Amino acid sequence: MAVEEGQWVLMATGRSPTNIAVIKYWGKRDEALILPVNDSISVTLDPGHLSATTSVAVSPSFPSDRMWLNGKEISLSGGRFQNCLREIRKRARDVEDEKKGIRINKEDWEKLHVHIASYNNFPTAAGLASSAAGFACLVFTLGKVMNVMEDYGELSSIARQGSGSACRSIYGGFVKWCMGKNNDGSDSIAVQLADEAHWNDLVIIIAVVSSKQKETSSTSGMRDSVETSPLLQYRAQTIVPNRVLKMEEAIKSRNFESFARLTCADSNQFHAVCMDTSSPIFYMNDTSHRIINLVEKWNQSEGTPQVAYTFDAGPNAVLIAPNRKNAALLLQKLLYCFPPQDHDLSSYMVGDKSILSDAGLNSMEDVEALPAPAEMKTPNQKFKGDVSYFICSRLGAGPKVVTEETQALIDSVTGLPK
Ligand code: DP6
């Protein structure tokens, strides 16, 4: 139903980044509140390349809460959406928009309904953590519309109830999710360790790996791991606490060697926990393993890490280089092994495409002329089509309000998605 004549629509739009964990969250001690079994640490990615944009509109003429994701209406009846909506509504305050002649009292929010439209600037099907950006953005933007004044720690604990990893998308740069001790989850919040400017040489290259397999969701995968993997308990209690301290130190001192060793070891241990689960969960595939081999051989031959790799609940590789020079060298090796299937170089690299010219790759001829990486076992083996495309990105900032009316996803007259 569209807006009735004489009724107003109030709206806010926000944009939130996605994040990638370098010390992984895997396992809950409380499923309903989403409380983890260990701390985790992540880097926030540039929202220009990977983010969710969400508009939230409110009007007295909306009969119910509704949501559209990437243009399609989705149900809001799930517990995770309801928890986020309830927690933000509880903290809603008076709102006054003099220009529009709107006045909403704190108590009115219980009766008012919202329309939410959200959009990811990267394909959801690519298996990149879209729930982290999505729930962080939902909570941030609802908070803006409802004039919620809570600090970011509190917002992170609400976003956590949408999806655990979403609490880390409330900040830019380097972020730690402290598991907390309280049963009510009040101290399970994210904190910023350093902003994105602290270590801005880092370059992130994501290989979006082709996969036809339907993956086990993080939620059900980690539930199975908690119930069946003895390694998960050992990891959470003995390994992670120490690793988190070392990772904080590596970030603080911009020690790439330590950062890279910890990142790779933690990704591998997370996937070992998946293997230790009954039934075992395989998130990585042959392409993922080939990328690990390539990086490990390169790192070993140089005697010190040149790039770090990390993999989430899917086959995509997230590669972190200390600078553009190493990112360009990495790209040469990757493009030798995984040349584009359709001969179109420019659509094979999204995000910061300029890394291609840093690597001297301005045309397909340049790609074809690449020498085989010294680290390859069988130097002439190529795996065309095994990587769908690459994304080149960097660290980025936390959620922001989007003020340009043209970027809003809801029509301010009809109250429906544009
Ligand atoms: C492998 O946050 O997606 O990406 O809390 O059940 O929504 P839920 O799970 P989710 O799990 C993310 C797991 C991970 C590691 C990480 O991001 O720390």
**Cβ atoms 12, 144 nearer than 8 A:** yes
Question: 163 CB under 6 A from ligand 1?
Answer: yes
- Tokens read off for 257: 């060697």
Structure confidence at residue 5 (pLDDT): 59
- For 210-233, the pLDDT digits (tens) are 777 778 899 999 999 999 999 999
- Domain membership of residue 416 (yes or no) is no
| Span from the CA of 26 to the centroid of ligand 1 (angstroms) | 7
Residues 388 and 401 in one domain: no
Measured from the CA of 177, which atom of ligand 1 is nearest? 18
Alpha carbon separation from 259 to 98, 191, 254, 297, 309 (Å, rounded)? 51, 19, 8, 18, 11
Give the SS3 label for residue 348: helix
Question: 398 CB under 6 A from ligand 1?
Answer: no
Phi-psi region of 176 (alpha: psi -120 to 50; beta: other; left: phi over 0): beta
Range of the domain at 353: 203-393
Structure confidence at residue 99 (pLDDT): 87
**Domain CATH number, residue 386:** 3.30.70.890
**Cβ atoms 236, 37 nearer than 8 A:** yes
Residues 155 and 228 in one domain: no
The residues near 238 (Cβ < 8 Å, ≥ 6 apart) are none
Please give the Cα distance from 229 to 73 (Å, whole number): 38
The residues near 252 (Cβ < 8 Å, ≥ 6 apart) are 193, 194
Phi then psi for residue 181, to 5 deg, are -120, -30
Residues 87 and 215 in one domain: no
Question: 18 CB under 6 A from ligand 1?
Answer: no
**Cβ atoms 40, 177 nearer than 8 A:** yes
Residues 51 and 182 in one domain: yes
**Domain CATH number, residue 55:** 3.30.230.10
Please give the Cα distance from 254 to 250 (Å, whole number): 6
The single residue listed with the structure tokens 């569209």 is 2
Residues 131 and 151 in one domain: yes
Nearest CA to ligand 1 atom 1: 312
- For 338-371, the pLDDT digits (tens) are 999 887 898 999 999 999 999 999 999 999 999 9
Choose the residue to mutate in 218, 222, 284 for probing ligand 1, maximizing ligand atoms within 8 Å of C-beta. 218
Question: 135 CB under 6 A from ligand 1?
Answer: no
| Span from the CA of 159 to the centroid of ligand 1 (angstroms) | 12
Nearest CA to ligand 1 atom 6: 219
Choose the residue to mutate in 165, 169, 277, 283 for probing ligand 1, maximizing ligand atoms within 8 Å of C-beta. 165
CA dihedral (243, 245, 251, 255) in degrees, to 10, reads: -70
| Span from the CA of 315 to the centroid of ligand 1 (angstroms) | 15
Return the half-sphere exposure (C-beta side, CA atoms, 13 A cut-off) of residue 245.
4
DSSP 100-157: TTEEE-GGGGGT-EEEEEEEESS-GGGT--HHHHHHHHHHHHHHHHTT----HHHHHH
Question: 40 CB under 6 A from ligand 1?
Answer: yes
Please give the Cα distance from 66 to 79 (Å, whole number): 15
ipTM: 0.99
* Axis crossing angle, helix 152-160 with helix 79-90, rounded to the nearest 10: 160
Residues 170 and 207 in one domain: no
- Domain membership of residue 415 (yes or no) is no
Which amino acid, 225? S
Strand partners, 174: 43, 194
Question: 129 CB under 6 A from ligand 1?
Answer: yes
Among residues of the chain, what percentage have pLDDT more than 90?
89
Residues 168 and 221 in one domain: no
Is residue 371 packed enough to be buried (19+ CB in 10 Å), middle (13-18) or exposed (0-12)? exposed
pLDDT tens over the chain, length 418 residues: 456 656 899 999 999 999 999 999 999 999 999 999 999 999 999 999 999 999 999 999 999 999 999 999 999 999 999 999 999 999 999 999 988 889 999 999 999 999 999 999 876 655 676 789 999 999 999 999 999 999 999 999 999 999 999 999 999 999 999 999 999 999 999 999 999 999 999 999 999 997 777 788 999 999 999 999 999 999 999 999 999 999 999 999 999 999 999 999 999 999 999 999 999 999 999 999 999 999 999 999 999 999 999 999 999 999 999 999 999 999 999 999 999 988 789 899 999 999 999 999 999 999 999 999 987 767 678 999 999 999 999 999 999 999 999 999 999 999 999 9
**pLDDT, averaged across the chain:** 94
Residues 161 and 294 in one domain: no
Question: 219 CB under 6 A from ligand 1?
Answer: yes
